[in-house]
Amino acid sequence: MNFRKNRRPDEPEINLVPFIDILLVIIIFLVITTTYARFTELQISLPVADANRPDERPAQIQVAVAADGRYAINNQRINYQDPASLAAELLAAAKNNAEAIIVINADASASHQSVVNVLEAARIAGLVRITFATQSNAK
């Protein structure tokens, strides 16, 4: 008795499902841990400034704004009625110098409207060079 049949032996079969699962996990891991470089940023070189102050200082108009809404121009207290009257005072202090710089020294408790009044008066007067004075925290 020959129990052996003349059959061809089974060919080995490779199951691809676990292989695909492992590859997907690796791809997800690589995507999550990769950092992308930004090559679209502008390459600029910033200008260098000397620490020396210029010898000529343009005319400065010191405008002080108190916490209670009082104004002073170059340490001279003024009565505020409206931005137009404040603009006239600024023009008088500038002595018709359009390059004069307005330095606003506002109290930390001064209202926002008080500072905006000075900005509006400077716009009416045609004085466009404006800066704010601050003081550093001493720790």
| pLDDT range class, residue 66, cuts 50, 70, 90 | confident
Is 70 exceeded by the pLDDT of residue 139?
no
Provide the pLDDT for residue 2.
61
CA distance 115 to 99: 21
**DSSP output for 48-64:** ---SSPPS----EEEEE
